Structures are given as C-alpha cells and as structure tokens.
C-alpha cells in the first residue's frame, strides 16, 4: 500500500531536483536525497539507478555514509540563502523581514557545520 506513495513522492522529488538544475532558487540536492530515500522504500531498483548516476550518486552516498555535503554545494547553498534573505529584507514589511533572515541564518549555520564531501 505504501510503495506507490513512496514511488510517487520519489518521482516528484526527482523532477523537482532536475528542475533545480535550471532554476537557481530551487535546490537540487535536497530533492535528490529525498528521492533516494523514497525510492529505497518504494522501488529499490530505481534507488540503485540513482546511486549509480555519475552526478548524483556520489553526493547521495556521501550524505548517507557521513552526513557530508560537497564544499561547492555548501557555498552555493549559503549564497542562495543570503540572496533570499536580502530579498526578504527589502520586500517584506518591517518585522516580517526578520523571518527569512533568521531562518536562513539557522539553516546556513547547520549547512556549514556538516562535514565536507
């Protein structure tokens, strides 16, 4: 019963991850990691194909084995969060501009504390 749900969630995550390659504000890696998680439960053959992929496989294995994020991915993630927080700072009303800034600060700190792949 749950396999179709995991398979659908994995496919949707993979599509969003693929779109993130071309859309700078949409992250690729978290969606690919989520797809691997879902495929492991919904279709292990698709998980194996994702792990064997030359672009995504090493990142997924590094995350699973050591919780590691590639250094370039860390830099890009923090940069995009900074751009988003600055956008919120100028576009949101006073008081609300602190919400994205605080969220990005917490998530950015967490990303930077992960081991580098």
Whether 27 and 43 map to the same domain: the answer is yes
Whether 19 and 41 map to the same domain: the answer is yes
Cα–Cα distance measured from residue 46 to residue 99, given in angstroms and rounded to the nearest whole number: 38
Cα–Cα distance measured from residue 32 to residue 62, given in angstroms and rounded to the nearest whole number: 13
Whether 6 and 61 map to the same domain: the answer is yes
Whether 40 and 15 map to the same domain: the answer is yes
Q: What is the pLDDT of residue 6?
A: 95
Domain that holds residue 81: 71-113
pLDDT tens over the chain, length 117 residues: 789 999 999 999 999 988 988 887 778 888 999 999 999 999 999 999 999 999 889 989 999 999 998 888 889 889 988 988 898 888 889 888 888 889 989 999 999 999 998
Q: Is 69 helix (H, G, I), strand (E, B) or coil?
A: strand
Whether 7 and 56 map to the same domain: the answer is yes
Q: CA nearest 76: which of 19, 26, 14, 17? A: 26
Contact 24, 80 (CB under 8 A): yes
Whether 75 and 59 map to the same domain: the answer is no
Whether 24 and 51 map to the same domain: the answer is yes
Whether 12 and 57 map to the same domain: the answer is yes
Q: What is the pLDDT of residue 21?
A: 84
Record the pTM: 0.78
Cα–Cα distance measured from residue 60 to residue 34, given in angstroms and rounded to the nearest whole number: 10
Q: What is the pLDDT of residue 48?
A: 96
Q: Which two tokens stand for residue 17?
A: 């991850």
Contact 111, 103 (CB under 8 A): no
Q: What is the pLDDT of residue 1?
A: 76
Q: What is the pLDDT of residue 72?
A: 87
Q: Report the phi/psi class of residue 67: left, alpha or beta, with left for phi > 0 and alpha for psi in -120 to 50.
A: left
Q: What is the pLDDT of residue 95?
A: 85
């Amino acid at each position: 019963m749950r396999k179709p749900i995991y398979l659908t969630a994995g496919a949707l995550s993979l599509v969003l991850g693929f779109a993130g390659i071309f859309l700078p504000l949409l992250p690729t890696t978290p969606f690919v990691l989520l797809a691997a998680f879902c495929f492991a439960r919904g279709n292990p053959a698709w998980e194996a194909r994702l792990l064997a992929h030359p672009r995504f496989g090493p990142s997924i294995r590094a995350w699973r084995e050591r919780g590691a994020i590639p250094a370039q991915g860390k830099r890009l993630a923090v940069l995009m969060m900074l751009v988003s927080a600055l956008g919120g700072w100028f576009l949101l009303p006073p008081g609300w501009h602190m919400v994205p800034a605080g969220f990005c600060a917490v998530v950015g700190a967490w990303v930077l504390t992960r081991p580098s792949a």
